[in-house]
Amino acid sequence: MADDPLVIFTPSGKRGRVPVGTPVLEAARRLGVDLDSVCGGRGICSKCQVAPGKGAFPKHGLTVAEDALSPVNAVEERYDRIRGLKPGRRLGCQAQVQSDVVIDVPPESQLHRQVIRKSAAERVMAMDPAVRPFYVEVVEPDLDDPTGDFQRLSQALEDQWQIKGLRADLDVLSRIQPVLRKANWKVTALVWGDGRQPPQLIDLKPGLLETPLYGLAIDLGSTTIAGHLVALDDGRVLASSGLMNPQIRFGEDLMSRVSYSMMNAGGAAEMTLAVREGLAQLASALAGEAGITPSEIVEAVIVCNPVMHHLMLGIDPVELGQAPFAPATSDALVLRAAEIGLGIAPAARTYVLPIIAGHVGADCAAVVLSEQPQKAETPVLIVDVGTNAEIVLGDKTRVLACSSPTGPAFEGAQISSGQRAAPGAIERVRIDPDTKEPRFRIIGVDLWSDEDGFAEAAKATGITGICGSGIIEAVAEMRIAGLVDPSGLIGSAEQTGTARSVPEGRTHSYVLHDGTAEGGPRITVTQGDIRAIQLAKSALFAGARLLMDEFGIETLDRVVLAGAFGAHISPLHALVLGMIPDCAPDQVTSAGNAAGTGARIALCSRAARVEIEDQVRRITRIETAIAPRFQEHFVAANAIPHATDPFPELSRVVTLPQVGFNAGDGDRPRRRRR
């Protein structure tokens, strides 16, 4: 009514009139203001703390009187005595509106608080997890009331929180009676809901739950499984960990695992078991790191590509190994954690992102969720570099995706001194263009190899080999330094002017580091290594070029390198190598583990899940295996950086020498070749 007090909430600005005596929490509900409450207004959870304004607010045209809110009552006094209320704060469920007032809702009292992701993406997102705690007081049974305890619990949740149609798995049902009685019928129900399926009771805790809820975000890659334990109240990462995918023993890459399942009866089942064990192990490690038990984790989100997806779910991936590469199912899935043996709360739900079909997987969906190409004004290329490279090109008008079989060279496989990224592996390389001398960094040591103290520091791990990012930089540096010609041929000592170029069979190798004196390996870049890298990078380039053809563009304004590996690739070296089409080097950025970030976003926000499920339907997939121009683009990309494209953007920053080493030219003068 017109005379009722006017309440204005900040920061939202929502306002309205409420009758005198209305509790602030209720006023917030009526006006649609985001103010949290777990205990449902009983003054014990303190989530609804607010800071009432004082004095004049010309902007709002009102003045807040001293007694705009009711005096502090016994409940608030008790709360302040036991736990303390910050000065100026009131409990929204206790304080009642008496006259015009401005009320500020501090961030920690907001249910859908904004979180800034501490990642390169700097993405602002509203927390909207699927599992939330709801404190209720349940009516006790008596001889006149024939209903079950679960029915009365459900009724309490409906009455106090408008949760309708609650369901519970058998194992949860079997636990509620002791909890209810031990807690004297005052419990916190952990309820999962996605707004589409009926809400599920995940667990029941005695009394008011004081700790946050925990969720798991998992990026299930072919080579590495990475996971994050996340607090579901504010999205902060409490623990991160990873392990090698235990399926590697069945096949280094995806296609060899598909072959394994085709050749071995029960092979798919073996791999399913192996990967589930790995996932459970990861969940356990993350819980341990955060100091909780795995059963306290109440939700999980998993992203993975189609082959990993099927194997994890226990579906034989054989159809994914042959045209038309049809998956058994492509929509998002909600499973019980126990169905895949995850070892967290058994009734916890696990959300699996949708796959885009073929070889473009849920991890690509997660990349799209994280990078949001569909909101870009101009097309952005996103490359998730792994054993299978997943490439997305999109803008506001459309999003295309494809998968390119790069093979494991980028992860150190097929490389003579190659190894996975681990302490002791060479991860960065620079070669002096004049002296041809190399300097490098190894994982685990912060110094370059030509700096004082390096030899000492390297003793701990030794210098053991070269990993993916190292070999990419090595090859690119060799090209910049003129040790390798555009065709990829390593020159002889005479042609290159360095004794580090040594004969090896009918070709030459470049000695990066000879550790034999210390009992370590001699780490060289061989001609075979160059070829392996050339093939891998050509596949990546060709995939990207196909998407650009389909999009109708010839040049790129922006490239994002994603994937755990993508975070470590130097954009400049990636361009020199010609792994990606030409682009201004300062427009090539790393998104870190975009798939993992996407998983975390989906974990923290149901709205994001709906968004990605919708986006996935709009993504157009290009199948590289049968694209007519793939071979052409592939062959043209063999050269470093490219056979015909002059890479103008790169050229503004780096001048690549024009050299040419023909087999047998060793004795003849250098010929200039473009």
Binding of residue 158 to a copy of itself (CB under 8 A) = no
Q: Under a CB-based contact definition with an 8 Å cutoff, are residues 216 and 227 in contact? A: yes
265 belongs to the binding site for a copy of itself (CB under 8 A): no
List Cβ neighbours of 373 (8 Å cut-off, separation of 6 or more). Answer: 379, 380, 382, 392, 393, 394, 395, 399
Decide if residue 339 touches a copy of itself (CB under 8 A).
yes
Closest separation in Å from C-beta 643 to a copy of itself: 28
Applying CB under 8 A, which of residues 21, 61, 148, 433 lies at the interface with a copy of itself?
148
Query: CB of 155: closest distance to a copy of itself in angstroms?
Result: 11
**Chosen residue from 329, 555, 631, 655 binding a copy of itself by CB under 8 A:** 329
Binding residue (CB under 8 A) for a copy of itself from 52, 215, 294, 358: 358
Please, what is the minimum distance in Å from the beta carbon of residue 135 to a copy of itself?
Answer: 21
Is residue 275 a contact point for a copy of itself (CB under 8 A)?
no
- Least separation in angstroms between residue 297's CB and a copy of itself is 20
Q: Which of 24, 35, 176, 481 binds a copy of itself (CB under 8 A)?
A: 176
Applying CB under 8 A, which of residues 76, 149, 363, 384 lies at the interface with a copy of itself? 149
Q: Write down the least CB distance from residue 545 to a copy of itself, Å.
A: 19
Q: How far is the CB of 593 from a copy of itself (least distance, A)?
A: 25
- Candidates 241-249, 324-332, 506-514, 602-610 — which segment interacts with a copy of itself by CB under 8 A? 324-332
Is there binding between residue 173 and a copy of itself (CB under 8 A)? Answer: yes
Name 607's Cβ contacts closer than 8 Å, sequence gap at least 6.
Answer: 126, 128
Q: Which is nearer to a copy of itself, 22 or 615 (CB)?
A: 615
How far apart CA 307 and CA 223 sit, in angstroms, is: 12
| Amino acid at residue number 392 | V
Per CB under 8 A, the list member of 20, 56, 328, 635 interacting with a copy of itself is 328
| DSSP-assigned letters across all residues of 553-600 | -S--SEEEEEHHHHTTS-HHHHHHHTSS----GGGEEEEESHHHHHHH
- Nearest residue to 201 via CA among 241, 153, 239, 246: 153
330 touches a copy of itself by CB under 8 A? yes
3-state secondary structure of 365: helix
Binding positions for a copy of itself, 608-667, rule CB under 8 A: 621, 623, 626
Residue 20 one-letter amino acid = V
Alpha helices in 303-371 (DSSP H): 306-313, 362-371
d(CA 655, CA 634): 24
Looking at beta carbons only, is 344 or 640 nearer to a copy of itself?
344
- Rounded to the nearest whole angstrom, what is the least distance from the CB of residue 316 to a copy of itself in the complex? 7
Shortest Cβ 400–a copy of itself spacing (Å): 12
Stretch of 39-47, 330-338, 430-438, 653-661 contacting a copy of itself, by CB under 8 A: 330-338
In a 10 Å sphere around its CB, with 0-12 CB exposed, 13-18 middle and 19+ buried, how is residue 315 labelled? middle
When the beta carbons of 170 and 263 are compared against a copy of itself, the nearer one is 170
Site string for a copy of itself, 298-317 (x = CB under 8 A): ---------------xxxx-
Residue 150 Cβ vs a copy of itself, minimum distance, rounded to whole Å: 4
Element (H, E) at 544: helix 527-551
Torsional sign, CA 477, 482, 483, 487:
positive
Q: No. of H helices and E strands in the chain?
A: 18, 31
DSSP 631: H
Both structure tokens of 614? 């919708």
CA distance 134 to 443: 46
The only residue of 238, 335, 422, 643 in contact with a copy of itself, by rule CB under 8 A: 335
Shortest distance in whole angstroms from residue 248 CB to a copy of itself: 23
Structure tokens at 274: 């192996």
Reduced to 3 states, what is the DSSP secondary structure of residue 15? strand
CB closer to a copy of itself out of 147 and 555: 147
- By CB under 8 A, tell whether 195 contacts a copy of itself: no
Provide the token pair at 306.
């189609």
Q: Does 150 bind a copy of itself (CB under 8 A)?
A: yes
> Total number of residues binding a copy of itself (CB under 8 A)?
44
- Of 143, 263, 265, 663, which lies in the binding site for a copy of itself, with binding defined by CB under 8 A? 143
Quick check: 80 binds a copy of itself (CB under 8 A)? Answer: no
Residue 327: closest CA among 313, 340, 342, 337: 313
Q: Go through the chain and tell me how many residues it has.
A: 674
Q: What are the backbone angles phi and psi of residue 548, rounded to the nearest 5°?
A: -65, -40
- Contact yes or no for 421/599 (Cβ under 8 A): no
Characterize 479-489 residue by residue with b for buried, 16 or more Cβ atoms within 10 angstroms of its Cβ, and e for exposed. bbbbbbbbebb
Question: CB of residue 336 vs a copy of itself: minimum separation in angstroms?
Answer: 10
Q: Least distance (Å) from a copy of itself to the CB of residue 164?
A: 13
Q: Which residues bind a copy of itself (CB under 8 A)?
A: 141-143, 145-151, 168, 170-171, 173-174, 176-178, 197-198, 313-316, 318-319, 323-331, 335, 339, 355-358, 621, 623, 626
